[in-house]
Chains A and B, each alone.
Chain A
Amino acid sequence: MEELMRIEGLKMYFGGLKAIDGFDLSIYKGETLGIIGPNGAGKTTLFNAICGVYVPTAGKVIFEGKEVQGTPAHEMAKKGISRTFQISKPLSGLTIFDNVVAAAGVHEYTGIRSYFHKAHTKDVEDRAEEVIREVGLAEVANKKASDVSLGYLRRLEIARALITQPKLIMLDEPCAGLSNFAINEITQLILNLKEKGQSIVLIEHNLPITMKVCDRITVLSYGKKIAEGTPEEVRTDKQVIEAYLGEEDD
C-alpha cells in the first residue's frame, strides 16, 4: 500500500496542556482510517495541527513525500487536504449552492488576479450541482445556509470538502448530533466515497459507525495513541476497553 501521509512525533501544546503529545500515524492511499477516543482526547486538535490551523509544537507531517507541517490552512487545502469542522462553519449569508461554489474556487483565490475571473461559470455550477446531488443537499440548494437544519449543515461541510477534489478528506464527527436516519445516510455517503477510492480520515464518536466504515482505527487518549489496528483488533484491545469503551457501559 502506498503511503499518502505520515505523521511523526507530532506535539501540540497549549501552554501547559499537552493536547497532542507525541503522535505517529501513517495514512495509506484509498484507505478509510478512523480516529476514536473520548471527548477531549485531542482528535479535533490533531486535525487542526495537521491542516495548518495550528502550527504544531513539534513533529512532522509528511504529505506525498514532502514535509508540510506548519503550512497555513489555505495552502493545505490547495495541496489536496480538505477537512470538515465538527462545529459546522456555514457561510450563513450565502445559499447552500453558493457555499459549495465558494469552496469550488480553491485554486482561484489568487489575490488581486481573482478579480478578473468570474466565479459562477458553467463548469463551476455543473460541478457544484453534481456534488450537491451526491451529498443530498439538492432540496435546499437555494436556501440560505442560516435557514437549514444541522443535518444539512453537516452535509454542506462534506460537500465543500469534496468539491475541492481532495486527495485526502478529513471528516470531524460528521454524524454528531444527528438522528439515526440521518446518521445512516451520512454513513452511506462515506461508504460511497470509499467505494470510489477516496482516502478518508474519519473522527467519529459513534463506535458502531466507525467499526462499520473504517479499514483501520487509531485510538487516542489524552493526546497519545493507545491502540491501532483493524476494527476487530481495536474492539478487543484491553487498554481501549478501559480508556474508552468502558465509559459506554456506565
Chain B
Amino acid sequence: MSSAYLYSILATAAIFTLLALSLNIITGYAGQAMMGIAAFFGIGAYTAAVITTNGGHFVLGLLAGMLMAGVCGAVLGVISLRLQADFLAITTIGINFVMVAVFNRLKITGGTLGLTVKKPVLFGVRMNNKYFFYMTVVLIIILCLLLVKMRRSWFGMALASINNDPGAARSFGINVNRYQILAFTIGSAVAGLAGGIYAHRMGFISATDFAFVVSIQVVSMVVIGGLGTLRGPIFGALLISSLPEILRFADDYRELVYGLLLVLMVRFMPQGLIGEDSPIWLLLTKIWRRFFPKKKTRADLIAESAKGGGH
C-alpha cells in the first residue's frame, strides 16, 4: 500500500470520526433522533467551498461552514421541540432529502454538476491527504478534550438528564428546550466543520456526497461503536471506514453490509461493541481492573460506609 493511498484512507476515516462525534452530541448525549446529519455535513461543505472558491481563506471557509451548519442546526432544534422521537427521526430524514435536492438545484452549489474546490494552502504548504489527516486528528483531539470537559460540567449533566428523562430534568431546573436546541446547534456545527474539511480534501463535491445513505453510515458508526460514549463513535468510525478496504470483494454490497450490521447491532447489542455496559467493554474493564484497580468514587465510599456501618 502506497503512503499516499494510506493517507487518503486515513483522511476519510478522520473526517468521518469527526462526523460521528458530531452526531453523538445530538443523539448520544442529548438523546435526540437525528437521521440527517449528512445534510449539515453538506451545508458546511458547500459553505466552505463557496467561500474559498470566491477567494476567502480556508480557515474562514471552515468557520463559515461551521456557523452556517450551526444556525441550520439551531432551526432544526427549534422544530424538534414540537416533535416526538419517531417524528423527529422522519423529519430529519426528510430534511436530508430536501437538502440534497437544494444542493442539486442551486446555482451557487453548482447544481447537478457539483463544485470543484481548489486545494487550500495552509502555512505556506499546499494541503494534501497527509495534511488533511493530521489537521483533522488535531481537531478530533481538541473536540474530545472539550467533550470530556462538557461531560463533567453542568452542561453535560443537563444533557444526560434530558437523555434519561426530560420530565425529571425539568423538575430540577433544566430548561429542556434550551439545551435541546444547543445540542442540535453544536452537533450540527461540528458536522459542518467536518464538511468544510471534506470539501477541500476531495477537491470536488456534489449532492450525492451528502445523500441519506451517508447519514445512515454515520448512524451505523455511532451505534456500532457505542452511543453516548466518546470511544464508541471513534471506534465505530474507524471500523466502518476501514470496512471497504477489508470488504473489497463486497464492494457492490457495501450499503447492504452497513444496513445489516446496523440492524443486527440494534437487535442484539444496542449498547454497541464497546459502549457503556456492552459485554465486550465490561470484559475489557474487568481485565484492566486486574492491573489497575478502580479508584473509588465518592458514591462507592458512601455505599461502603453504609454497608460497613451495620445499617
Chain A positions within 8 Å of B, measured between CB atoms, are: 51-53, 72-74, 77-78, 82-83, 85, 89-98, 101-103, 105-112, 114-120, 125, 128-129, 132-133, 138-143, 160-161, 164
Contacts and interface: CB of A to CB of B under 8 A. Distances in A.
Summarize B's interface: helix, strand, loop or mixed.
Answer: helix
Given A93-B164, A119-B153, A142-B302, A111 B170 contact: no
Interface string B144-184: 00000110111111101101110111111111101100100
Given A111-B179, A142-B302, A164 B172 contact: yes
Contacts of A89: 165, 167-168, 171
Contacts of A103: 171-172
Nearest to A104: B172
B155 A138 contact: no
A53 B172 contact: no
Contacts of B303: 138-143
B161 A91 contact: yes
Contact of A91 (B168, B173, B179): B168
Interface in B264-311: 276, 297-300, 302-303, 305-307, 311
Residue among B156, B170, B174, B302 with most chain A CB within 10 A: B302
A66 to B, nearest CB: 18
Contacts of A129: 298, 302
Contacts of A85: 167-168, 171
Nearest to A122: B298
Given A109-B158, A142-B303, A72 B170 contact: yes
Nearest to A52: B170
User: 10 tightest CB-CB pairs across the interface, nearest first?
Assistant: A138-B306, A97-B299, A106-B173, A91-B164, A89-B168, A114-B154, A142-B299, A103-B172, A73-B170, A141-B302
B168 to A, nearest CB: 4
B307 A164 contact: no
A53 to B, nearest CB: 7
A102 B160 contact: yes
Contact of B175 (A111, A120, A141): A111
B160 A115 contact: no
Contacts of A160: 168, 171-172
Nearest to B167: A89
Nearest to A110: B154
Contacts of B305: 138
A55 to B, nearest CB: 14
A91 B297 contact: no
Contact of A93 (B153, B163, B167, B171): B163
B173 A77 contact: yes
A209 B192 CA distance: 58
A108 B163 CA distance: 18
Nearest to B300: A142
Contacts of B163: 93
A119 B157 contact: yes
A98 B155 contact: no
A117 B164 contact: no
Nearest to A163: B172
Residue among B153, B167, B182, B311 with most chain A CB within 10 A: B153
Contacts of A108: 154, 173
Contacts of A110: 154
A115 B167 contact: no
Nearest to B305: A138
B170 A74 contact: yes
Contact of A116 (B153, B169, B297): B153
B153 A114 contact: yes
Given A91-B165, A93-B276, A138-B302, 7 more contacts: A74-B175, A77-B172, A82-B172, A91-B168, A93-B163, A128-B298, A138-B305
A125 B311 CA distance: 21
Contacts of B157: 98, 101-102, 105, 114, 119
